[in-house]
Amino acid sequence: MDQSATRRVGRPPGSSREMLQEAAAELFLEQTYAKTTIDQIARRAGVSRNTFFNYFHAKSDLLWVEVDSALARLPQALADADADADADAQRSVTGAVRAAVLDMAGGLDPSRVPWALTQSELMGTAGDLAESALSRFRSAASLLSVFVARRTGLPADDLLCWSFTMAALAAAAAAARTWAGSGVSRGTLIPYVDTALSPVCAGFAPVLDRPPASGNIEIARR
Amino acid sequence: MDQSATRRVGRPPGSSREMLQEAAAELFLEQTYAKTTIDQIARRAGVSRNTFFNYFHAKSDLLWVEVDSALARLPQALADADADADADAQRSVTGAVRAAVLDMAGGLDPSRVPWALTQSELMGTAGDLAESALSRFRSAASLLSVFVARRTGLPADDLLCWSFTMAALAAAAAAARTWAGSGVSRGTLIPYVDTALSPVCAGFAPVLDRPPASGNIEIARR
DNA sequence: TGCAATTGTTGGACGGCGACCATAAATAGA
DNA sequence: TCTATTTATGGTCGCCGTCCAACAATTGCA
């Protein structure tokens, strides 16, 4: 698991990853994302086209570097929510999800807005942009839904679990969209996500949260 | 506007569209969607590859024919909701959206489940499948959001409008997913969408619906 | 009957993405 | 020095979606 210091065998990697990101950022500004080819990015970064695929699975990954690092916090945020729940048993499921998503939102730097959000506004549907977006949405949704299912005791494929997690993430995505569109005066993402997500949690709380003061562990099968 | 009977100039089209749909359906069953090429579909339908693009903009359009016809009902459903609202002034915005989305759900035949829903379950991320899915989501969301904005008086790009519409559609999508996965015993989509959508509407009702019994038309700017 | 206009169909070619494979370079340890 | 391991590179492949220049079929008009 520990592969931080020791792991110096084989050819050392070049400084390619950052070079590729910088080159891509320049090209996305000069021309748009759609009319930027992988060849151009790799050539400007001084590496081969195939080397690009050693660092990014697809061209669209370059749009989501900030989002991916924020999404990486989700498992830990959920684990923290679990720990808090152990100490504070009456914490609700919807509240835990809300806290985790807000924690995720805190991982986005207001000065480093992901390319995915700016470029999607600029040009309607950039093809693989949509695909990559839904890919992130899916992974986050599957993580959240298993958390919700375990907390509520509902089966993993229950309709309420899925509708809640997808609605919550969709609201968060809408918040991120308007946040990215709010010029330079935008602050943190957190208040945006908060106002978008709170109604969703409030709506699902009556049907998902177990009665707080009751020791009855029975789960209401819909 | 009336182009039903008269309009026979030029070479008449072949029976290609249905042939292409049938050929695609066969091939999607034999092999999956991902490993079916446009060449195969066109060849089995007896037409050329380019003819395929005369009837469908992309290969993924074949997955959404049923969904597209259901989505086509959305503008009319929203207009009906407006008409109902004129007669029944205290009808809420969230209620109108709920009615429109349920009307849309009624347009899906339980015996003709869209390929998009079955194939997406089968294989994780089929690439352009995700793209096409988000495309549908976007068009529906933009329609719904302008409706919500007009009804509430909020600006068109207001965060609450967008978060509500996206959350509602995400819940509906989750419902369609589990509906498609519920074997042959599934009935109509409507109850699925109802249980998934109701909490979302309930959560946003306090912040979107104008106070019913009050003559005060002022809109609360967030 | 012949001629244009319109519309559908076809072939060919192109650029681009992403996957694959074999091979060369660079480094650590034996 | 040799070997194992990891990164970098070149080349090829199938496919998608776009474009263009023809060709075919039908209608309307002269």
What is the DSSP track for A86-152? HHSTT--HHHHHHHHHHHHHTTS-TTS--HHHHHHHHSS--THHHHHHHHHHHHHHHHHHHHHHHHH
Reduce the DSSP state of residue B63 to 3 states and report it: helix
Say how many C-beta atoms besides its own lie within 10 A of residue A4's C-beta: 6
Strand D-proximal residues of B, range 104-143, CB below 7 A, are: 128
Rounded average pLDDT over A31-42: 93
The predicted model scores a pTM of: 0.86
Phi first, then psi, for residue B220 (nearest 5°) are -75, 105
Distance of alpha carbon A14 from alpha carbon A12, whole angstroms: 6
Which of B51, B46, B100 is CA-nearest to residue B71? B100
* DSSP string covering B124-140: S--THHHHHHHHHHHHH
Model confidence pLDDT, tens digit, residues A155-165: 999 999 999 99
Of residues B63 and A216, more confidence is placed in: B63
Say if B16-56 and B64-208 have the same CATH topology: no
C-beta of residue A179 within 8 angstroms of C-beta of residue A200: no
Reduce the DSSP state of residue B196 to 3 states and report it: helix
Would you call B127 and A131 a contact, using CB atoms and an 8 Å cutoff?
Answer: yes
Give the pLDDT confidence score for residue B220 in this predicted structure.
Answer: 42
Give the pLDDT confidence score for residue B218 in this predicted structure.
Answer: 45
Distance of alpha carbon A93 from alpha carbon A95, whole angstroms: 5
Of residues B27 and A13, more confidence is placed in: B27
Q: What are the residue boundaries of the structural domains of chain A, listed by start?
A: 16-56, 64-208
Give the pLDDT confidence score for residue B135 in this predicted structure.
Answer: 87
Would you call A159 and B175 a contact, using CB atoms and an 8 Å cutoff?
Answer: yes
How far does B161 lie from chain A, in Å, by closest CA?
Answer: 9
Residue of A134, A159, A195 with shortest CB distance to B130: A134
Give the pLDDT confidence score for residue A81 in this predicted structure.
Answer: 84
The answer to whether residue A105 scores a pLDDT higher than 60 is yes
* Tens digit of each residue's pLDDT, chain B (222 residues): 444 455 678 888 887 899 999 999 999 999 989 899 999 999 999 999 999 999 999 999 999 999 999 999 999 999 988 887 666 555 799 999 999 999 999 999 998 889 888 876 655 556 678 888 888 999 999 999 999 999 999 999 999 999 999 999 999 999 999 999 888 889 999 999 999 999 999 999 999 987 544 444 443 444
Give the pLDDT confidence score for residue B16 in this predicted structure.
Answer: 82
The CATH number of the structural domain formed by A16-56 is: 1.10.10.60
The answer to whether residue A217 scores a pLDDT higher than 60 is no
Interchain CB contact of A195 with B (< 8 Å): yes
Would you call B131 and A130 a contact, using CB atoms and an 8 Å cutoff?
Answer: yes
Question: In 3-state terms, chain B is what percent helix, strand and coil (to 5)?
Answer: 65, 0, 35
Chain centre distance of CA B85: 23
The answer to whether residue A1 scores a pLDDT higher than 70 is no
Distance of alpha carbon A16 from alpha carbon A42, whole angstroms: 9
Rounded average pLDDT over A30-40: 92
Q: Which long-range contacts (CB under 8 A, 24 or more apart) does B184-189 make?
A: B186/B110, B187/B110, B188/B105, B188/B106, B188/B110, B189/B105, B189/B106, B189/B108, B189/B110
Interchain CB contact of A171 with B (< 8 Å): yes
Q: Which amino acid is at B6?
A: T
Q: Which nucleotide is nearest to B57 (CA to C1')?
A: D17
Give the pLDDT confidence score for residue B37 in this predicted structure.
Answer: 96
B37 Cβ nearer than 7 Å to chain D strand = yes
The CATH T-level fold of domain B64-208 is Tetracycline Repressor; domain 2 (1.10.357)
